[in-house]
Amino acid sequence: MKVDLNIISHAVLDDKMFFTETGKKEVKNQLGGPVSFASTIFPVLSIKGRCITTIGRDFPKEYLEYFSQIKNYHFEYEFSEKTTRFLHKIYENFRFLYLLEQASNLDEYITEFPGAKGCLISPIYHEVTSKTVDWACEEHDYIGIDVQGFMRGLDVNNKIVLLYNPQILSELTKNASFVKYSLNEAQHYTQKKSYMEILEGLPSNNTQIVTLGSEGLLFSKNEQYYKLSAPYRIERDPTGAGDVLVSGILSKLVETGDLEISIAFGMALAAEKVQMNRLQPLASNDYMKIAEKILESLEQLR
């Protein structure tokens, strides 16, 4: 199947424990991961996407059925011994993430596929290496990288912790069209706190995007720094908003080649995602109109 955008990551099974004043609630086998949340945007796009992942035979059949029904999105998988699984311990103001199982590395499987105009590399825990990044750069025109999986390590209890590896990360991302960080990841990478210091401390050879949650995001362009504000939405569940954002940015970038409108378009899709408390295709909407409104908030940082 010929596609416009390849998306590389692990599909995930999440176990979640919510701790509140009234007690504890548990959720098992919830579908997650960048390839899963990316699937939600393709029914409202004109371009076609392909997920490339590995899953275990423990992966629920109903999730395979879900992917098979997504318009404009092809789910390619190879069986692994296990599916990647995380445990989330979620408290009112903070959360902890633990790696329980991990599917096999994707490096060898990926090279079986043809390239496309765009490629999103969004590892969640070390499922790809520089080999995959090199393949993507050779076979695609636009590369987007979400650094989350490149910056994660484990403590003795298998809890996810941030790694400080700026030289390795800079090498992995040097040929990307854009690189996305959460604010926490960008602060860890640069060891800085203020927005200007963070943007100045990130590599300058490509566009850097730093997400700020409900505040919007920061981005660099031609060594100038900008902030875009997110539209107000009732936030029911922010999980996966970053995955929707970067998938949306690339989807519009392969169509237009326009960075600013592509970033705003990704933000418009992410704003729709946070209003949903379950994984499902986004509702039909005029997301370009929302993106144009978001662009009105463009502010240059000095």
Residue 23: give its domain's CATH number.
Answer: 3.40.1190.20
- Which position has the higher pLDDT, 232 or 294? 294
Q: Which pLDDT value is given to residue 30?
A: 92
Q: What is the mean pLDDT of residues 50-69?
A: 96
Q: Coil, strand or helix: which one is 192?
A: coil
Q: What is the mean pLDDT of residues 240-257?
A: 95
DSSP designation for 230? P
Q: Coil, strand or helix: which one is 100?
A: strand
Q: Which of 80-84, 119-123, 231-235, 240-244 has the lowest mean pLDDT?
A: 231-235
What confidence tens digit (pLDDT) does each residue in 131-182 have?
999 999 999 999 999 999 999 999 999 999 999 989 999 999 999 999 999 9
Q: Please, are residues 119 and 6 in contact by the beta-carbon 8 Å criterion?
A: yes
Q: What is the mean pLDDT of residues 260-284?
A: 91
Q: What is the mean pLDDT of residues 101-109?
A: 95
Would you place residue 92 in the very low, low, confident or very high pLDDT band (cuts 50, 70, 90)?
A: confident
φ/ψ region of 115 (left if φ > 0, alpha if ψ in -120 to 50, else beta) reads beta
Mean of pLDDT over the chain: 93
Model confidence, pTM: 0.94
Answer yes or no: is pLDDT of 234 > 90: no
Answer yes or no: is pLDDT of 276 > 90: no
Domain of 51 in residue numbering reads as 5-301
DSSP designation for 148? G
What confidence tens digit (pLDDT) does each residue in 8-20 have?
999 999 999 988 8
Other Cβ atoms within 10 Å of 149 Cβ, number: 19
Q: Which pLDDT value is given to residue 96?
A: 93
Of 300, 220, 236, 223, the C-alpha closest to 273 is: 236
Q: Which pLDDT value is given to residue 292?
A: 96
What is the signed CA dihedral for 234, 240, 242, 248, rounded to 10 degrees? Answer: -90
With tokens 């240059």, the residue in question is 300
Answer yes or no: is pLDDT of 242 > 80: yes
Task: State the amino acid at position 9 in one-letter form.
Answer: S
Q: How many domains does the chain have?
A: 1
Q: Which pLDDT value is given to residue 197?
A: 95
Q: What is the mean pLDDT of residues 213-242?
A: 88
